[in-house]
Amino acid sequence: MREGLIAAGLELARAGGPDAVVLREATRIVGVVPNAAYRHFADRDELLAAVCEAAMARLGDRMAAEVARVPGERGDGDADAAFGRMAAVGMAYLEFAREEPGLFATAYALPDQHPYAVVGATGPDASPLGQLRAGLDELVEVGLLDAGRRTGIEFPVWSTVHGLAVLLGQGPLRAAPEEDRRMLTDRVLGFIGEGLLTAVAAPDA
Amino acid sequence: MREGLIAAGLELARAGGPDAVVLREATRIVGVVPNAAYRHFADRDELLAAVCEAAMARLGDRMAAEVARVPGERGDGDADAAFGRMAAVGMAYLEFAREEPGLFATAYALPDQHPYAVVGATGPDASPLGQLRAGLDELVEVGLLDAGRRTGIEFPVWSTVHGLAVLLGQGPLRAAPEEDRRMLTDRVLGFIGEGLLTAVAAPDA
DNA sequence: GAGCTAACGTGGACAGTGTCCACTAAGCGC
DNA sequence: GCGCTTAGTGGACACTGTCCACGTTAGCTC
């Protein structure tokens, strides 16, 4: 039942973002009276928080799937593959934001009282940030990224991609035509590439 | 009266973000019955849109003020001053997002039906994007930024700063302690600096 | 000045929302 | 069987956005 409410909330969030996950509607979908939800969640915010986590997990899944499509395996020292996986991490993030704007917005709409968990850890994990870190670590392994520049570099990269996703999805650029979106994406990803890669020519993506 | 409603809406937005600008409360502040608002706005979204524009203008004002504090004037060829103004543009953006999280979020919460105006123009104007463009143009003038790299570079820069502002203000990094925030900000601004400035050593900010 | 008009604000209503309270039914250990 | 927890029900309340019909006032035309 808890699961059902979260699933219903996810459906609502997909269609209309975090504001659309309304408690009464979720219970209606599950086929139960509104107050039943209060057996499983303290209030609407707690339901929303669960839905947000689920949405974030969706984003993580999407990224993992996209990375897995790149030939080769992590740790085999293939620079092309490492670069490809890094690119896949960024592209998957942007594609998810584009194709599932409601879920993307919801993933980052955790209510104030419910703290984000992901940030503290430094090791790689299934979260979007964890996967970004894994990709960057691999770039260092294959020599595409100076080890000295690695520390903390995930934050500028994350900021840049996230900023683009937000500006394109909900921000002032949301009305931009497809052509402009492509150009913007190329420019932004290129900017990140320049900022990351060592002087050596990057393998083309 | 229209002004008064917008002002009231701004106050609400400052305290609680876009969701807090509720029509009835705004009319209550102005001291009038809820329906009076419908003489001036078609619906709540139109009021919110006006408040969003006002919030965006506040952001632009803040940036302009911060830039004006840098000694020297635009176009005098002083590289240090040009760099300082560019830094001021970014810092003002981040400071506004930090000190006025409600207004910052509201500035970017324009309802879907009301299109953003600012994006099309390429010339500098009072909008945040316009001021960023002016700063970048000046970097080119004084030789800190290759003219060939100028085209469209405002979007990666905007994305990066905006992404950081969002992640720190409403996103997963919002609970980060002051020390971490400083470090993150330094890293991100440094990343932008590297991506912008030509090989020449940058004047320290 | 008389009378019309348009703008502005009021009062009352309605549906929809989150949330509280008291209540009923089912399962389970003693 | 008794008492307990757990899950769901029904009814209420305050609050929201919004619609409708109604006064009230300022400004214009004749």
The whole-number Å distance from A59's CA to C10's C1' is: 50
Give residue B124's pLDDT band: very low, low, confident or very high (50, 70, 90). Answer: low
- SS3 category, A22: coil
Look at residue B197 in the predicted model and tell me its pLDDT.
82
Give residue B76's pLDDT band: very low, low, confident or very high (50, 70, 90). Answer: confident
Give residue B118's pLDDT band: very low, low, confident or very high (50, 70, 90). Answer: low
Q: Which of B166, B191, B197, B198 to mutate to test the interface with A (most CBs of A within 10 A)?
A: B191
B158: distance to nearest CA of chain A, Å?
A: 8
Rounded-to-integer distance, Cα B13 and Cα B58, Å? 12
Look at residue A201 in the predicted model and tell me its pLDDT.
45
Say whether A162 and B167 touch across the interface (CB within 8 A).
yes
Contact pairs from chain A to chain B, CB under 8 Å = 108
Contacts of A15 in chain B (CB under 8 A): none
For chain B, give every domain's residue range: 56-196
Rounded-to-integer distance, Cα A30 and Cα A36, Å? 10
Look at residue B198 in the predicted model and tell me its pLDDT.
58
Q: Contact, B163 vs B155, CB < 8 A?
A: no
Contacts of A195 in chain B (CB under 8 A): 191, 194-195
Look at residue B141 in the predicted model and tell me its pLDDT.
94
Say whether A160 and B163 touch across the interface (CB within 8 A).
yes
Q: What are phi and psi of A14, to 5 degrees?
A: -55, -40
Element (H, E) at B45: helix B44-68
Q: Which residues of chain A have pLDDT under 50?
A: 199-205
How is residue A17 written in tokens?
């973002």
**Where would I find the H helices in chain A?**
2-16, 23-30, 44-68, 79-99, 101-107, 128-141, 147-150, 154-169, 178-196
Look at residue A122 in the predicted model and tell me its pLDDT.
58
- Closest Cβ opposite residue A163 in set B115, B153, B163: B163
Say whether A194 and B191 touch across the interface (CB within 8 A).
no
- Chain A residue at shortest CA distance from B18: A19
What's B56-196's CATH class? mainly alpha
Q: Which nucleotides of D are covered by protein (CB under 7 A)?
A: 6-12, 15-21
Mean pLDDT of B81-104: 97
**Where would I find the H helices in B69-177?**
79-99, 101-107, 128-141, 147-150, 154-169
Say whether B155 and A187 touch across the interface (CB within 8 A).
yes
Look at residue A123 in the predicted model and tell me its pLDDT.
59
List, chain by chain, residues whose CB lies under 7 Å from nucleic acid strand C.
A 22-25, 34-35, 38, 43-45; B 1, 32-36, 39-40
> What architecture is domain A55-196?
Orthogonal Bundle (1.10)
Q: Which nucleotide is nearest to A37 (CA to C1')?
A: D8
Quick one: which of A168, A170, A192 has its CA closest to A182?
A: A168
Say whether B155 and A188 touch across the interface (CB within 8 A).
yes
Residue B16 has pLDDT above 90, yes or no: yes
Rounded-to-integer distance, Cα A174 and Cα A105, Å? 13
Q: Contact, A111 vs B170, CB < 8 A?
A: no
Residue B204 has pLDDT above 60, yes or no: no
What mean pLDDT value characterizes chain A? 91
The whole-number Å distance from B19's CA to D9's C1' is: 32
Q: Contact, A94 vs A169, CB < 8 A?
A: no
